[in-house]
Structure 1
Amino acid sequence: MSHPASYPVRLADEITRQLGQLTDHLAQLPPSQAAQVIARILDADDGVLGRFTHLMITGSYFAKDQAERGILPPEVWLALGRAANELHDIGLDLDEHHDALRGVAAQPAATPAKSPVPAPLVVRRRR
């Protein structure tokens, strides 16, 4: 007889399902609402990206402890730590664009009097 999944496993499955739903909704939202949702997702403290980064940091601490006990290979801890660091860096990169997303979200749904000028999408990245 199989054991029912623990609450944290069911919670992870439910969050995964809800992220799929959010993705589906995001693809169909008007620009101002999509920008508002994306800005909330990218919030460094309370957004999905910020919370996921903290989850990966916690996972890295767990993996470190298990690696020190010889239960997990050290490569698992290193990979989780690297992922947490990369997510943190991505969050910092995206944080500088938070105001631009909020600006789009704050615009009225009506068409502006002056059409926006398309921008070339080739941008050099700072590192």
Structure 2
Amino acid sequence: MSHPAPYPVRLADEITRQLGQLADHLAQLPPHQAAQVIARVLDPETGVLGGITHLVATGSVFAKDQAERGALPPEVWLALGRASNELHDISLDLDEHKDTLQHVGTQPATIAATTPAPAPLVVRRHR
């Protein structure tokens, strides 16, 4: 007889499933609604990206404790720490575009009288 997965494992599976559903919906939304969803997902404080960053940082603390006890190789802790730092940096990079996404998300769904000009997709990053 198989044992049911503990609640946190089921919760992780459910969140993963719902993220897949959200991605499927996002692909079909009109631009203004897609921008609203993306802005919420990317919010570093209350969004999915911020939550995942916090989760990975918490996993890094766990892995550090286990590595110090010899239960995990130190490379696991280092990898989780790097991932946490990278996610944090990504959140900061994306946060500067949050207002733009929110602005696009509040625009009416009607087609503007003038078509926006396409922008070149090669842009230099600044920090």
TM over 0.5: yes
Amino acid at match of 1:22: L
Give, in whole Å, the separation in 1 of the partners of 2:7 and 2:106: 38
- The Cα of 1:48 is off from its aligned counterpart by 0.3
Hey, what does 2:78 align to over in structure 1? 78
2:88 aligned with 1:88: yes
Distance in 1 (CA, whole Å) between partners of 2:61 and 2:28 is 38
Identity rate, percent: 78
Q: CA RMSD in A?
A: 0.8
- Point out where structure 1 has 5 or more consecutive residues left out of the alignment: none
Deviation per CA, 1:69-109: give whole Å up to 9, x if none.
Answer: 00000000000000000000000000000011011101100
How far residue 126 of structure 1 moved from its aligned partner, in angstroms, is 2.4
How far has the Cα of 1:114 moved from its partner? 2.0
Q: Distance in 2 between matches of 1:10 and 1:101?
A: 33
1:43 — aligned with what? 43
In structure 2, the partner of 1:9 is 9
Write the distance in 2 (CA, Å) between the matches of 1:52 and 1:19.
Answer: 12
Q: How far, CA to CA, are the matches of 1:85 and 1:126 in structure 2?
A: 19
Structure 2 counterpart of 1:113, one-letter code: A
How many residue pairs get aligned? The number is 127
2:57 & 2:125 partners in 1: Cα distance? 26
**Residue 50 (structure 2) pairs with residue 69 (structure 1):** no
Partners in 2 of 1:126 and 1:99 — Cα distance? 17
TM-score when normalising by structure 2: 0.98
